Structure 1
Amino acid sequence: MTSTSSSSSASTDVLPVEQYVARLARKRMAAGVLFRDAEDRVLLVEPSYKPNWEIPGGAVDSDESPWAAATRELAEELGWDRPLGRLLVVDYVRPQDSRPEGVVFVFDGGVLDATDMIGMEFVDAEILSVGFYAPDQVAERVKPLLADRVSAAMEAVDQGTTVLCEQGRRID
């Protein structure tokens, strides 16, 4: 049996891998953790470096997974070493306020009680205080984008699912 092959010249449109990778979009990533109490109030942290409150979490470092970042941020901000629950939200955020587009992950931290708060310590000067807040109080303290994301995360908890969002709003 004779095999016939046709050889075609390599396309000049194909870039070497290094050049292709260098042209790929870069997205910032962040990861947060949604903690609640028995009354379905949300744990917020008061940062020292900006006026709006946040859920515990922060930027994902280079070569770090979102879940590792969330765990690291809990240790840095609150002195906690806790396992993360399931993924609640994946939120695509368009470029804004001189920040590039990004992807934000929110993990379930579970329900906390007074004894869980005992081990909390503000390891550095990044966090001034923490507190549990009802949904309307969350909206008063955080940026609208985060308020929408927290609302989506609470829906995900109630529905036992992961919610996809764009700009904090659930996409269906």
Structure 2
Amino acid sequence: MEKFVAGLNRKRMASGVLFCDDEDRVLLVEPSYKPEWEIPGGSVDENEAPWATATRELTEELGMKRDLGRLLVVDYVFPQDAWPEAVMFIFDGGILTQSEVDAMEFVDGEILSAGFYDLAEARKRLAPRLARRVEAALQALRQGTTALCEHGHRVA
């Protein structure tokens, strides 16, 4: 059994949180370590549940404690270049006000700024795969569903 378990495939995972404002704009964060913007979130640590990751990352990145809503997206990401395959999750963070964003504390230095952007503006700032994932999350939020995606493209 140990040999079987040792031979099982390992996948990397990450979790993000979709926040919107009352105008249906999406909260994006500007990382200090790369040019593309992100939604709040990050990599799942060993022995950590994806929803626990999302909650932890909100505290680490934004100084925010907030309960998560439902799962909006599960995205299988193909291996690419040096990156192994992955499973990405997006959870509903609910509605934020501009004053809540203004009160955010970028405590770990990983995030430089945060702001609300409509989908067209978000597409300009996000990596294409994440832009597609965010669009699927917005659709799932409106439809009351969970979107299944492959490399950011919604599947049946």
Q: Into which bin does the TM-score normalised by the smaller protein fall?
A: over 0.9
Distance 1:48 1:118 in 2: 18
Distance 1:97 1:67 in 2: 27
Other-structure match for 2:103: 119
1:138 maps to 2:122:
yes
SS at match of 2:60: helix
Matched-pair contact (CA < 8 Å) for 2:101–2:115:
no
Report how far residue 29 of structure 1 moved.
Answer: 0.2
Matched-pair contact (CA < 8 Å) for 2:101–2:114:
no
Matched-pair contact (CA < 8 Å) for 1:37–1:132:
yes
Q: Which amino acid aligns with 1:58?
A: G
Other-structure match for 2:26: 42
Other-structure match for 2:9: 25
Note the residue ranges of structure 1 that are not aligned, 5 or more in a row: 1-16
Other-structure match for 2:66: 82
Distance 1:50 1:158 in 2: 31
Q: Which amino acid aligns with 2:12?
A: R
Other-structure match for 1:64: 48
Q: Deviations over 1:97-132 (max 9, x none)?
A: 311000000000011113322431000110000010
2:88 aligned to which of 104, 119, 123: 104
Q: Deviations over 1:69-89 (max 9, x none)?
A: 000000010000100000000
Distance 2:152 2:24 in 1: 19
Which portions of structure 1, spanning 4 or more consecutive aligned residues, are displaced by more than 3 angstroms? none
Percent identity between the two aligned chains: 65
Distance 1:49 1:113 in 2: 26
Q: Which amino acid aligns with 1:136?
A: A
Give TM-score, length-normalised by structure 2.
Answer: 0.98
Distance 2:19 2:98 in 1: 13
SS at match of 1:58: strand
Note the residue ranges of structure 2 that are not aligned, 5 or more in a row: none
- How many residues get paired? 156
